[in-house]
Amino acid sequence: KYYINCNPYIYDLDHRLVQQISTEMADLKGPENVAEKARYIISCAREDRTTAERIDIWSFVPHYPLPPPDRRWALGVQAGGSSYPGKFTLIVHTTHASQSVHGCQEQFVLSNCVEQPIYRVMLWYNNPFHFLTGWVEASVSTGLPSQPGKAMGGEHPMWLVTGRTPLLASRDSWTGSGMIDAFFDYWLPVFVHEMRTQVLGREEADRKYQEVVSSDGISAPGSLTGVDAYREADQRTALGNFRAQAEVDHKDRAQPIGRFVAGLADTRCGKAAARVLQSRDLHAEGGLLEGLSSLTHSARARDFAPSEPPRGESVGSQSSGMQVDAEGRARSLKRRREGEASAGSSTARRHS
């Protein structure tokens, strides 16, 4: 990141737009449904086992968890690499277009061909856990004006801070903007296959599987359509490569173990644990993890903006109630600090 991809000491850095639009998904019942299925695949922490096992064989899996109710962003991870030692895990800062906090649902969009935004992924320069720097969006696309044949496809424009050099811009490079452009042309058809499987079923997804002719600028859809057509033409596909790698990784043995572990959630003990851990927000007041989250998560909506007193209640009585609430928070904070001080003194005595 700092030595090669975004080094201001050896490159005259500029920004480069790298845009990928998947093949069309106009048959998936509208942009809202496309966005919803994409969030199910990317943002849900626990999918159904069949979906999870299909995704498990991919060479790139983004996970952008849904944020808590008080904010619109969350840290996400990108797990990539088909085999060791080329595997990696990256961390990103993701804003969710569907999230509304205190009445705000802002989602500034740079792309001019968005039908419906889904995510904004920031690759900050001061984030050492990602090798690129830039502004990235993930949205449902119109495909217009240059690619009308990709209606309702998933678009992934990236405005990257990079240098004008073949080491970074070439599609054959091992790093940089060109490599990322080529990679998403390779990976997106598999994502579209999973999206279509979710909505229309595996048979229809196989019938409409289509890859693109990867190139700078527009990557047009390939001439073949359907898994069987690629097999008959003896052409390798990303989907086929993932399945072949799964055999090498012995997923046929590992996935049943994962299925058994996931099934524990449906047992009596698993359901009891879920009631304790998931029935309420553990970071909320009185919860097990109270005070251990971010400042904004601990704050309440009324702390951000003044509110009208309830009907029949005077301003004085409301202020009194807020004062009592503030005193309660102060007492809770005092008890917590006393507990930390007590723990510290106990540690000191043990060391002594």
171 φψ region: left (φ > 0), alpha (ψ -120 to 50), beta (else): alpha
Whole-angstrom Cα distance, residue 286 to residue 252?
45
Final residue of a structural domain among 214, 240, 265: 265
Final residue of a structural domain among 203, 238, 265: 265
Closest CA to 109 of 94, 119, 99: 119
Is 284 within a domain?
no
Only one residue has tokens 């005595």, namely: 349
Same domain, 219 and 91: yes
Give yes or no for residue 347 having a pLDDT over 80: no
Same domain, 216 and 317: no
Give yes or no for residue 52 having a pLDDT over 60: yes
Whole-angstrom Cα distance, residue 281 to residue 94?
21
What pLDDT shows up at residue 345? 54
Same domain, 245 and 317: no
Is 115 within a domain?
yes
Is 303 within a domain?
no
Is 298 within a domain?
no
Is 280 within a domain?
no
Minimum mean pLDDT range among 75-84, 189-198, 336-345: 336-345
Is 323 within a domain?
yes
Same domain, 231 and 330: no
Per residue in 228-265, pLDDT (tens digit) is 999 999 999 999 999 999 999 899 999 999 899 988 98
Give yes or no for residue 49 having a pLDDT over 50: yes
Work out the pLDDT band at 320, boundaries 50, 70, 90.
Answer: very low
Is 242 within a domain?
yes
Same domain, 177 and 323: no
Indicate if the alpha-carbon torsion angle 289, 291, 296, 301 is positive or negative.
positive
Per residue in 79-128, pLDDT (tens digit) is 988 776 678 899 999 999 999 998 888 889 999 999 999 999 999 999 99
Per residue in 58-70, pLDDT (tens digit) is 999 999 999 988 8
Segment 159-188 shows an average pLDDT of 93
More confident residue, 5 or 348: 5
Q: Please tell me what DSSP assigns to residue 81.
A: -
Bridge partners of 123?
134
Q: Please tell me what DSSP assigns to residue 152.
A: T
Segment 178-206 shows an average pLDDT of 97
Is 40 within a domain?
yes
Q: What would you report as the CA-atom Rg of the chain, rounded to the nearest whole angstrom?
A: 25
What pLDDT shows up at residue 334? 61
Same domain, 26 and 102: yes
Closest CA to 97 of 150, 38, 145: 38
For the chain, the domain total comes to: 2
Same domain, 60 and 180: yes
Give yes or no for residue 333 having a pLDDT over 90: no
Q: In which domain, by residue range, is 313 found?
A: 308-351
Same domain, 256 and 143: yes
Final residue of a structural domain among 200, 231, 265: 265
Same domain, 225 and 322: no
Same domain, 237 and 317: no
Same domain, 233 and 95: yes
Same domain, 193 and 338: no
Cβ atoms within 10 Å of 226's Cβ, excluding its own: 13
